[in-house]
Amino acid sequence: MTNINTLPSDDSRARRNVTILVLAQAILGSQMPMIFTMAGLAGQSLASNPCWATLPISLMVGGSMVFANPVSWVMQTYGRKVGFWLGTTGGSVGAAISAYALMQADFTLFLLGSFLMGLYQSAQGFYRFAAADTASPEFRPKAISYVMAGGLAAAVIGPQLFNLTNDMMVVPFLGAYLSIIAINLIGSLLFFGLDIPKPEKPHQDAPKGRSRKELLQDPVIAVAIICGMVSYALMNLVMTSTPLAVVGCGFETDMAGNIVTAHVLAMFIPSFFTGHLIARFGVRSVIATGLFILGMAGIVALQGVEIENFFIALVLLGFGWNFGFIGATSMLAGAHTPEERGRVQGMNDMIVFGCVTIASLASGGLMNCSGGTAVEGWSAVNLAMVPFLALAGASLIWLMLRPKEEF
């Protein structure tokens, strides 16, 4: 069996895998902006209490957290392909249950479907790690960045497909959920072309790597997880409540979709050069820039609820997430040994998506139940970013003050 560490250094295999993963990110990833646009609005129409409007998104992200370690174990044991097919199966089944729940106006069943769709989101989170599996250390940041850039096409395909299918059925959002089933079935075919060798089964005398506790005590790993967690959770906190805020402030649902499109484009456009910036300026500087831009997004959002405020704030939110999250991923990918890969990646995604789950759940509560108006709720959502940005910024400064370490 081929060992990942003995692959040719010309990165030809890695580039082929990156191409497939970019296509997967573009096609399969298009379901994510669709879900984030409509799940909160659908939840608001089905739930008896508006405070639970974003609970479907919270359960989907919670599913990502729950499935992170099992999916990582499947990939470590049976290979990336099997793990990715498991994800598309979860996406298809979850969308089918959600579609049926919409026809029955059953909020509980809709929550179950959303939870199962988290299996797809969990698997998608490993696209970036899969890109690094066969890449040389020099190509690794660019490989991760290119795969994330596939989300640029998803940002266009998803909202347009949502607008095209949303009103196809009498039941709102039903057509969009049916299209998500098709996306998962078609997109799963891409993984037949993936060429990533399964990790070798370790011999009894092979190094086992560090335990989870020891890994978390590594300063680089700890800070990478904190920065990735904060970048993703804050992006989700604000993005989840955006459609509710836009509609609540008197704008049309289509406008909410356009703002989400602009946001997702901003999330992935920088990926064409984020890897180069990391190579040029260092991963810590890129993460710091991302945290600063996330803070600027909150400041713009607090200046008013005109449509331009929503657009600018969400674009900045996308840019900040890109630099913060890709930077944290690159830092993490260079801080562990091959035998620690599954342990680190599963632990990282469990922590990250656990915090994202809390953020998405808090988003609905802050938006709908922290004030008497949509404006007050939107302000509460953006003010909630402050302590977490302070945490991530302080941890990064602490790491920067330590002696330089190799990545």
Q: Which pLDDT tens digit goes with each residue over 249-271? A: 888 877 887 888 889 889 888 87
For residue 115, the tally of other CB atoms under 10 A from its CB is: 23
Mean pLDDT of the 175-185 span? 94
Q: Are 49 and 74 in contact (CB under 8 A)?
A: no
Measured CA to CA, the distance from residue 173 to residue 168 in angstroms comes to 9
In this prediction the pTM is 0.73
Backbone angles phi, psi at 59, to 5 degrees: -70, -35
**How far is residue 318's CA from residue 297's CA, in Å, rounded to a whole number?**
9
Quote the CA–CA distance of 242 and 30 in Å, as a whole number.
18
What are the structural domain ranges in the chain?
10-199+211-401
The Cα–Cα gap between 44 and 81 comes to 36
Q: Cα(75)–Cα(258) distance, rounded to whole angstroms?
A: 36
Q: Report the SS3 class of residue 1.
A: coil
- Taking the C-alpha atoms of residue 257 and residue 12, their distance in angstroms, rounded to an integer, is 38
Q: Tens of pLDDT along 257-308? A: 788 888 988 988 887 888 889 888 999 999 999 999 999 999 999 999 899 9
CA–CA distance, 272 with 323 (Å, rounded to integer): 11
Tokens found for residue 63: 């599913």
CATH class of 10-199+211-401: mainly alpha
To the nearest whole number, what is the mean pLDDT of the chain? 86
> What are the CA-CA distances from residue 236 to residues 12, 37, 263 (Å)?
35, 12, 11
